[in-house]
Chain A
C-alpha cells in the first residue's frame, strides 16, 4: 500500500490484491461457472419446480385442460374458435397455421397478433367488415355501436374472454338457435361474469368457453 503523499492530491491508488488470478485461470473459472449455473438454474430449478407443481397443482401444471366425457375439449385459460349461432363467440384472432401457410384462428401452438398500426388501411378494412358481420349475425341495426373488443383482434390470438357488453349483444341469437328463453341465456352469461380480481385488479369479463360448456350442459 502506498502512503498518501500530501503534495500529490490526485490518483492515490491502493495496490490491488497481491496476486491477481492469471488470465487462463480466470477463463477456466468462467467456463466452470457457466457449466455449474446451467446445471443449477437451467436444470435443477425448473425440474424441481416441475416436480413440486406436478404433485401440488397437477391440473394447472398440465395446462388447465377441460375434459368432457373423457375427451379433452380445450384449456380453461385459452380461447377457442366459435362460429355456430348457438355458441357465444369470442374475439377476432389473427393466429396463423403452424406452417405459416394461412390464417387459422385460435391456433394454440402459434400465438400471434395483427401488429397493425392505428392508421393501417388493413386495420380499418378488417374492423369495418367485422362490425358489419357482427351486426348482421346478431340482428342489430346499422347504427348500433359495437363494443370494441368484439371487432379488434387480441394480442395473443387466444384471448379466452369477451366484455359483458359483447356477450349480451349475442343473447338473442343464442336463445333463438337453442330455442331457449332469452332470460335463460342471459342468466348463464351473468353467472359466468368474472369480476375484478380481489375487487380491484384487471377488468370484468366473460369466459367464452365456460359459458358455452354451461349452455351445452343446460339441455
Chain B
C-alpha cells in the first residue's frame, strides 16, 4: 500500500511541478510574435498569410477544411496500403467501412481502433497515416483551445488568432521536440524502432515465435504527448513493446497530463489572472484524485469470486495482488489505476490493462470520467468543456441570486447559454441515444463478449468512448461490424465538432462584447467557492444525466460480483 501511494504521489508531484514551466512555454508559443525560418517556409509552401486575423467563423472553417483534407488524403493512403512501400508482412488494405472508422477516429483524436495494429496496418500506414494524424489532430484541438482562450481573454476584438500559425507552431515548437527526445528514452527502455520485417525466434522449448516489430517508439511518444491513444499493437500500452518498464509507464502518464494541465496556467497568463487558471487546475485535480482513489481501491480489493476458488489477491511481501485478470505484473495495481484514470481523464484512450476485466465499480470510474469529459481533458477539448461548465455555473449562480450572469467581465446572455447547452446536451444524447439503439438490435447484441450487466457496459463504454473522443474500450466487444463502425464513427464526429464549434462561437461572441466593469453584483469566478460550485455543477449534471445508465451497467455488475453471482454467456 505505502509504495503504491508513494509512486502515485511522486508522479502527480512531477506533473504539478511542470505546470508552471510548461504553461509559460505554451503561453509564449501562443503569443510570440516571431516566426522561425522553418515556420516561414511552411507558410510559403502551404500558401497562407500568417498575418491574417481570423474571427471565430473563419477559424472554425479552417479547422473543418484542414480536417477534411487530412481525412481524404488518409483514407486514400490507407486504402492503397497494398501498393505502398514498407509493408513487410504483406498486409492487405482495410475494407471501406473499417477504413472510414479508422480515419475518422484518428482525425477526431479519438483513436478508437476496430482493427488490430500488427495484423492490419503496414509500417507505412502506421507512420504516414496514424503518426501524422496524431500530430495534426492534437495540434488542431490545442489550436482550438488557444483560439477559445483568446476569445475569452478578449484582448483583440473578434480576432482569435491564425489557425495555420497555431498549428504549425504547436507541431514544430512543442510536439516534435518533446516526442523526439521521449522516443529516444523509450527505445533505451526496450521499445522497438525499426523498419525490418517481423522477427522469428525459436523458443527455449523449440516452438516458433513470430515477433511483430515496427517503428513503435516514434508513434508511442506522440500517442501520449498528443493524448491520442491509438496503439501500434492490438493490446496497446499493455504490450511490452509499447510499454516495457514502469518508467515508460510513468512517462506515458506524465506525457498525457503534460499539456492539458499546463494549459490552465497558460490560460491564467492570457487572462492576466493566474488565480483563475489555478481554480480550473484545482477543480480538475480534485475530480481526478477522487476517481483515482475509487479505481485503485476497487481493483486492489480484487474479485471475491476468485478468492473463493483459492486465488490469493492480498498484498504480500512477494506479490502486489489485486484483480490481475487483464493486467501486467510490472505495473501492478497502483500504476495501472493511475494510468487508467489518466487515460480516461485526458481523453487519451490508450490502455495498459484491459478495462473490460475490471470489477464493476473499477469500470465505473473510466466511464464516469469520459462522461464528465473535462477532468484535464485532451488537447484543448477538456479545457473547453470545463469552461463550458464554468459558464453554466455562472448562469446557475446568477439565477439563484437574481442577477445577470457575467463571466470574465462579459455578460452571459441567452444566445451563449443556448450554445453552451447545445454542447452540454449533444454529449449525453449521442452516448445514450446510440447505446439505446444498439440495445434494441439483435445484430448489435451479437457482438457482446460478456453476459448480463457487464454486456450492457460494453456497449455503453463504446459510445461513451467514441463521443468523448477517448478511444479506450471494453475491448471484448467485437466492434468491427458495419453497424458499430458507422455509428461509433458518427458518435466521434458529434463528440468532436458539436463541442468545439459551439464553444468557439461562444468565445467569438464574448470577444465581441463590451467588457462590463466589476461591480458589487459581480460573482468572482477565481475563488475557491466558485471552483467548488463548478465541480458540483459538473457532478450534478453528469450524475443526473448518466446515473441511470451507470446503475444498469457497472453498479449492477459490481453488486452481482459482491454477491458471488456468476453469469453464463
Q: Which residues of A contact B (CB under 8 A)?
A: 4, 9-14, 16-17, 20-21, 25-38, 40-43, 45-50, 52-54, 56-57, 60-65, 71-84, 87, 91, 98, 106-124, 127-128, 131, 143-149, 151-166, 168, 196-198, 200-203, 205, 209, 212-213, 216
Contact = CB atoms under 8 A, between A and B. Distances in A.
A156 B235 contact: yes
Nearest to A74: B201
Contacts of B80: none
Interface string B182-221: 0110011111111110111111110101111101011100
A152 B201 CA distance: 26
Contacts of A98: 119, 210
A108 B204 contact: no
A65 B325 contact: no
Contacts of B439: none
A65 B199 contact: yes
Contacts of B62: 26, 30
B186 to A, nearest CB: 9
Contact of B569 (A20, A122, A203): A122
B41 to A, nearest CB: 10
A49 B217 contact: yes
B552 interface: no
Interface stretch (B27-35, B68-76, B424-432, B543-551): B68-76
Interface in B236-261: 238-241, 244-247, 249-250
Nearest to B231: A111
Nearest to A35: B73
A117 B557 contact: yes
Interface string B310-321: 111100101111
Contacts of B486: none
Interface of B: 3, 6-7, 10, 42, 45-49, 52-55, 58, 61-62, 65-66, 68-70, 72-73, 77, 89, 116, 118-119, 127-129, 131-132, 134-136, 157-159, 164, 167, 171, 176, 179-180, 183-184, 187-196, 198-205, 207, 209-213, 215, 217-219, 222, 233-235, 238-241, 244-247, 249-250, 302-303, 305-306, 309-313, 316, 318-332, 334-335, 351-354, 356-360, 411, 413, 449-452, 454, 457, 474-476, 512-514, 557, 560-561, 565-569
Given A49-B183, A113-B235, A163 B318 contact: yes
A48 B135 CA distance: 16
A145 B311 contact: yes
Given A13-B512, A73-B204, A74-B209, 17 more contacts: A50-B193, A65-B211, A106-B209, A109-B119, A109-B210, A118-B325, A119-B560, A120-B569, A121-B567, A152-B323, A154-B327, A160-B330, A196-B7, A197-B247, A201-B247, A202-B249, A209-B204
Contacts of B167: 33
Contacts of B213: 62-63
Contacts of B319: 147-149, 163-166
A201 B134 CA distance: 28
A20 B62 CA distance: 12
Nearest to B327: A155
Contact of B239 (A61, A111, A145): A111
B47 to A, nearest CB: 5
5 closest Cβ contacts across the A-B interface? A202-B246, A115-B476, A42-B132, A14-B157, A155-B238
B302 A16 contact: no
Contacts of B358: 118
